[in-house]
Amino acid sequence: MSAMTGEPSAAPPPANRALRQFFTAFNTNKTSWVGLVTFAVVALVAVLAPVIATHDPLEQNILDKLQGPSAEFILGTDGFGRDIWSRLVYGARLSLWIGGVSILIAMVVGSLIGMVAGYFGGRLDIAIMQVMDVLLSFPSLILGLMVVAMMGPSVGNLIFAIALTAIPPFARIARAPTVSVKERDYIEACRALGYSHPRIMAVHILPNIFPEILVMGSLWLATAIRVEASLSFIGLGVRPPTPTWGGMIREGFENILDTWWLSMAPSVAILVIVFALNMIGDGLRDFVDPKLKGERGG
């Protein structure tokens, strides 16, 4: 790479080391692997939803309502005669999509904010981090609830609300290493060679913070999925009849004395995916922060 782009040859050994440590940490931790495999299976189910689902998740069939598990309806049917298994599979799609996109946005925007704050320093840094601290002081669920309540529940608004709550932690975690890296000799060399600020940040600083951002990403994806499910449960999720896990739990809960079991399959699904993501993050957390700082959220 350095031969082709003419980067100074003193360039980023720390970045490579950081990435190597990252993969070593992953490999030596069995919990992380179990989490990753479980998550991959759920993600695969979501992607292949049209193939795996046995029915149309929206198709109502009142004659077949509230049936127990059978060969035709693997997990039975709900109060409208819709196939629970198919709704569960399509619900996975929505959960992962909303969680994934919002965390991706938070990762990109948050790291950008943190890098800019750390790189330029001074008053800009202080001002940006003050705003981040203010946002961070809000519990994700409360801030998400406020935003969705005011903007109305839709996929786009949910993504916006969840991304907003997740930006500050990424800004924080991106800022600290930027501050220390920017004083290094090789960054100085890049400046002397006249490289632009965006280029120095993208090529020489980003690789240093990337592993930490990835670990935070897995932990916050767990939070994002939990928040989305919670909002759906409260009734602020994507509108029915679209299948969401939180919404399905709500449907079972509303008639808890008669149809409590409708809540069970989506409950287990949420638990499995959040647990899997936390397992991935758990083994890697020591790598990012031995004092468990990244656990905030909820």
Partner 1 sequence: MLQYLIKRLLYAVPTLLAVLTVVFFVARVLPGDPAQVMLGEQAGAEAINALRIRLGLDRPLVEQYVDFMKGALSGDWGTSLVTGRPVLGEVLNVIPYTIELTLASILIGALIGVPLGAWSALHRNSLIDYVTRIGSLLGLSFPAFVMAIMLLLAFSIQLSWFPVISSGGGGSLAERLRHLALPAINLGIIMAAYITRVTRSSMLEVLGEDYVRTARAKGVPHLAVVWQHCLRNALIPVVTVVGLYLGILIGNSVLTEIVFNRPGLGKLIVGALTQRDYTMLQGLMVVYTFIIVVVNLLTDLTYGFIDPRVKYQ
State yes or no: residue 92 binds partner 1 (CB under 8 A): no
State the binding string over 186-225 for partner 1 (x if CB under 8 A, else -): ------------------------------------x---
State yes or no: residue 237 binds partner 1 (CB under 8 A): no
State yes or no: residue 147 binds partner 1 (CB under 8 A): yes
* Region of 67-75, 102-110, 208-216, 270-278 interacting with partner 1 (CB under 8 A): 270-278
158 to 177, contacts with partner 1 by CB under 8 A? none
State yes or no: residue 152 binds partner 1 (CB under 8 A): yes
Q: Return the number of the residue (202 or 271) whose C-beta is nearest partner 1.
A: 271
- Tokens coding 118: 């750390």
Angle (nearest 5°) at CA 198 between 192 and 201:
80
Q: Nearest approach, Cβ of 70 to partner 1 (angstroms)?
A: 23
Of the candidates 275, 267, 264, 271, the residue with the CA atom closest to the CA atom of residue 75: 264
Q: Nearest approach, Cβ of 147 to partner 1 (angstroms)?
A: 6
* Region of 77-85, 167-175, 195-203, 266-274 interacting with partner 1 (CB under 8 A): 266-274
Amino acid at 90: Y
Q: Nearest approach, Cβ of 218 to partner 1 (angstroms)?
A: 13
Task: Determine the length of the chain.
Answer: 298
Q: Nearest approach, Cβ of 50 to partner 1 (angstroms)?
A: 27
Q: Nearest approach, Cβ of 258 to partner 1 (angstroms)?
A: 11
Region for 7 from its dihedrals, namely left if φ exceeds 0, alpha if ψ lies in -120 to 50, beta otherwise: beta
Q: Return the number of the residue (50 or 152) whose C-beta is nearest partner 1.
A: 152
State yes or no: residue 134 binds partner 1 (CB under 8 A): yes
Q: Return the number of the residue (95 or 178) whose C-beta is nearest partner 1.
A: 95
Report the residue from 36, 108, 112, 141 that binds partner 1 according to the rule CB under 8 A.
Answer: 141
State residue 11 phi and psi, 5-degree precision: -65, -165
Q: Nearest approach, Cβ of 5 to partner 1 (angstroms)?
A: 41
State yes or no: residue 140 binds partner 1 (CB under 8 A): yes
State yes or no: residue 256 binds partner 1 (CB under 8 A): yes
State yes or no: residue 127 binds partner 1 (CB under 8 A): no
State yes or no: residue 155 binds partner 1 (CB under 8 A): no
Q: Nearest approach, Cβ of 138 to partner 1 (angstroms)?
A: 6
Q: d(Cα 208, Cα 282) in Å, to the nearest integer?
A: 20
